[in-house]
Amino acid sequence: MKQLGILTIYETIRNWIKIYKLNIKQKKYEKEITIVDPKESYIIIFNDLKHLSFLNGAQELVPNSNFKLISSEEIDKKENIVKLPKINSCTKIIVAVHKLNSKYIKKLLGYLIKNKQHKTKSSPHNMHFMCIRSINKTRSKI
């Protein structure tokens, strides 16, 4: 399950993540190192602890990432859901769910976009969604 999670996360962020290649040259050898942009940070939001094993490899793939559990029950409450790390223009949000639920996604998006605890509001352009199971009817609702 961990390998499937790594591949799914990679596919979600591959065109979005900034990567730099660094060449180290010494007298006897040359080595190329790949570095993820240190200015960027990632918040990976998931809605169920049962599927956390699926996301275990994300920390290896995206070193500067924070995991936040935000359940459907928490979204239904009117108060602030959870304290998220500081969101700025370099913060990217990945919403990782096992089964796509349009009601959950719409409420979560509303919360993240209108979130007043951060100086810079989240932009839908800084968010990607990842799921294992989805139905065309649900995707079209979103």
Residue of 102, 88, 91, 96 whose CA lies nearest to 65:
91
Question: Which residue matches tokens 């096992």?
Answer: 98
Residue 104 to residues 69, 70, 99, 110, 115, Cα–Cα distance (Å): 13, 10, 10, 10, 16
33-81, pLDDT tens digit by residue? 988 888 888 888 888 887 777 777 777 777 788 888 887 777 766 555 5
What pLDDT is attached to residue 32? 92
Where are the domains positioned within the chain?
Answer: 2-141
Q: Which CATH architecture has domain 2-141?
A: 3-Layer(aba) Sandwich (3.40)
